Amino acid sequence: MSAEAHDMPAGFDATIHAPNRLRICALLDTAGEAEFGLVQKQLGLSASVLSKHATVLVDAGYVEQRKAVRDTRQRVWLRLTRPGRDAYQGHLAALRAIVGPAGPAS
């Protein structure tokens, strides 16, 4: 284990930490399930960038894709899995440990 990885608090997840993947997890944690196009629009990502990051999260077991035909078009919905939700919550706790407790605003 590298010194850098050793210094990270428990729960820090490099897979989730990438900014776009963190944003995807945050949106799905709030929404529960969201259609691919909605996630793309909300996050301001191209379809290819969203697809790339969603694939990383799916491969890690953090996100599930559900495909169905709607309005004669194939649609894809994304949602966090239980392990994905746990990893996301653990990552948030690790980030809070890194930045320390919030103090009063100046």
C-alpha 48: how far from its chain's center? 16
- pLDDT of 100: 83
CB 16 within 8 A of CB 62: yes
Q: What pTM did the predictor assign?
A: 0.84
| Amino acid 64: pLDDT | 97
Give the domains, in start order, of the chain with CATH numbers.
Answer: 10-96 (1.10.10.10)
Q: Which regions of the chain are under pLDDT 50?
A: 1-3
Q: What pLDDT shows up at residue 70?
A: 76
What pLDDT score was predicted for residue 78?
98
**Residue 57: per-residue pLDDT:** 98
Residue 69: count other Cβ atoms within 10 Å of its Cβ.
Answer: 8
According to the model, what pLDDT value does residue 1 have?
Answer: 40
